[in-house]
Structure 1
Amino acid sequence: MEVIPLKVQKRERGSRGQLNKMRNQGLLPAVLYGKQKDDLLLSVPVKDLQTILHSEGGLNSIIALQLEGQASEDKHTVVVRDIQRDPITRSFNHVDFQQINMNEVISAELPIHFVGESVGVNAGGVIQHGIRSLQVEGMPAQLPGRIDVDITQLDLHDKLFVRDIQAPEGIEITSDPEQVVLSIVVPRAVIEKEEVTETTEATADEERTDGAKEEEKEGE
């Protein structure tokens, strides 16, 4: 995964009003956490961050923070650890960055991307999702933006477990292997229709049997 540059500024700790003024100017309050350095308060251009988060790496993008006023080679390699949103507008309120070492294994949560249409769906089934992402570990440069899973061979009543997914090279899946990722199920409406049909046929059989018995009695 490529490292994406992002220019940011240092900021002072501010009041709620000052932070809201910053947001109205298109800047997002942020904090950079590091293992060997003090936490840094930052302001981030929200549009630039949104562009990165909509790239192939998404929330797992590796970012090189460049602080204005510092030498271009003095960058902080980070990942996004948390984004706080406004509960009503869903706009970004705050972001936490975690400094990483490109030579050390890190943990990440990768979205699952399903490829193809299963034979079970083509037969009238529907997909019932269990989980939509996987916990993984790997070197930062090897982490993909997502994990592709081919589901074309899944038939009606089949289940896909975490253990069935092959991890990309250099990546270890740490999610519970017995978790169900998805199932191909028969729609409830179809089951109910079949049950009604079976009940109707059984009732019709009983009526025919009763009618035949009545005819036998009349013949006697």
Structure 2
Amino acid sequence: MRLTVSTATSRSVCVWRGVRRDSGGCSRRQRQDAPGGRTAMEQVVLKAQKKDESGKGAARKLRAEGLVPGVIYGLGKETVGFAVQRRELYDLLDKATGGNVLISLDMPDMQIDADTAALIKEIQWSPVHKEALSVDLQWISLKEPVTVSVNITIHGHATGLEEGGSMNQIRYQAEVECLPTDIPEELTMDVTGMQISETRFASDLAVPEGVTLLLDPEEPIATIARPISAADLEVRTDEELPEGELEELALAEEQSEAAAEAAQSTEADGEAEAESDSAE
């Protein structure tokens, strides 16, 4: 069975990571090396307390006490309500790499299998105070592949930038499928040697062993736009219009000029005739 985790979580974490908070009491399990010399995603221990009451009133009371209400579900397990210290949740988000964090939930009276962990599925934020209102966690099996979004970063020295070009990163995230412990911190792409007007694609991303990229190989990731000169900003109609349209425009212009001259001639003749009549 393959589990897809909402990418909305990654976006929330990315937004959050731009704001710093005081560190809380989250602890990390030791990071282990994965097969092939890669580093397995570490699990972060999040302490929680079971939440018995439900409803808006109970949630407001928890927030007033510095807690964030949440629920955890998945893998056919019963949905369980809980609450975590806001400071510890923020510390966990600060530890999130690439928008993903593997969670070992530590809650009294809850038996958790050794091959089970949790991922953040969704966080609701206050649009006014920018505080977390609630958090949804999803149980996952460490032995089954999951689909998550991972951030894309570019590195290297692009030659085209020295020539006045500008780097345009088209895509900043990509979905991958892998075991939870193999979720990469990021996907990287080397732009060394890129020239102006050159594009690099998903096939140029460095994808770790054991990770499947769920993106069309021809999907563009980054391109270098050519510099815009003053001449490029000028409107050069003569170069842009087809030859037939140019002839039509030239003919229309001649006809317009002839009509204007005829009108002026008629007006002049009328004025001369009026003056002659006046003299008589």
**What code does the residue aligned with 2:54 have?**
G
- Aligned: 1:158 with 2:195: no
Deviation at 1:73, TM superposition (A): 7.7
Structure 2 Cα separation of the partners of residues 31 and 100 of structure 1: 14
- Out of 131, 134, 147, the position equivalent to 1:91 is 131
Equivalence for 1:194? 231
Q: Can you list the C-alpha shifts for 1:142-180, whole angstroms capped at 9, x where unaligned?
A: 112211222122211111211221311110000233322
Deviation at 1:78, TM superposition (A): 0.3
Give percent identity, aligned residues only: 27
Aligned residues: 197
Q: Structure 1 residues 196 and 180 mapped into 2: Cα distance closer, same or farther (>3 Å)?
A: closer
Equivalence for 2:73? 33
Matches within 5 A, 1:71-150: 77-150=117-190
Deviation at 1:198, TM superposition (A): 11
Q: Structure 1 residues 138 and 48 mapped into 2: Cα distance closer, same or farther (>3 Å)?
A: same
Deviation at 1:13, TM superposition (A): 4.0
Describe the SS at the equivalent of 1:52.
Answer: helix
Structure 2 Cα separation of the partners of residues 178 and 72 of structure 1: 42
- Out of 31, 48, 51, the position equivalent to 1:11 is 51
Equivalence for 2:276? none
Deviation at 1:118, TM superposition (A): 1.5
**What code does the residue aligned with 2:216 have?**
D
Normalized per residue, the structure richer in strand is 1
Q: Structure 1 residues 183 and 196 mapped into 2: Cα distance closer, same or farther (>3 Å)?
A: closer
| Maintained 8 Å contact 2:44/2:102 | yes
Computing the radius of gyration from Cα coordinates, the structure with the larger value is 2
Describe the SS at the equivalent of 2:89.
Answer: helix
Q: Structure 1 residues 107 and 124 mapped into 2: Cα distance closer, same or farther (>3 Å)?
A: same
**What code does the residue aligned with 2:162 have?**
N
Unmatched runs of 5 consecutive residues or more in structure 1: 200-220
Unmatched runs of 5 consecutive residues or more in structure 2: 1-40, 237-280
**What code does the residue aligned with 1:86 have?**
S
| Maintained 8 Å contact 2:98/2:151 | no
| Maintained 8 Å contact 1:65/1:76 | no
Structure 1 Cα separation of the partners of residues 61 and 115 of structure 2: 27
**What code does the residue aligned with 1:156 have?**
I
Structure 1 Cα separation of the partners of residues 96 and 191 of structure 2: 22
Equivalence for 1:48? 88
TM-score (norm 2): 0.64
Deviation at 1:138, TM superposition (A): 0.4
| Maintained 8 Å contact 1:161/1:180 | yes
TM-score (norm 1): 0.80
Q: Can you list the C-alpha shifts for 1:42-88, whole angstroms capped at 9, x where unaligned?
A: 11122212212222525311110011345698895101111111123
Describe the SS at the equivalent of 1:82.
Answer: strand
Equivalence for 1:210? none
Deviation at 1:140, TM superposition (A): 1.0
| Maintained 8 Å contact 1:66/1:75 | no
Structure 1 Cα separation of the partners of residues 138 and 119 of structure 2: 5
| Maintained 8 Å contact 2:189/2:204 | no
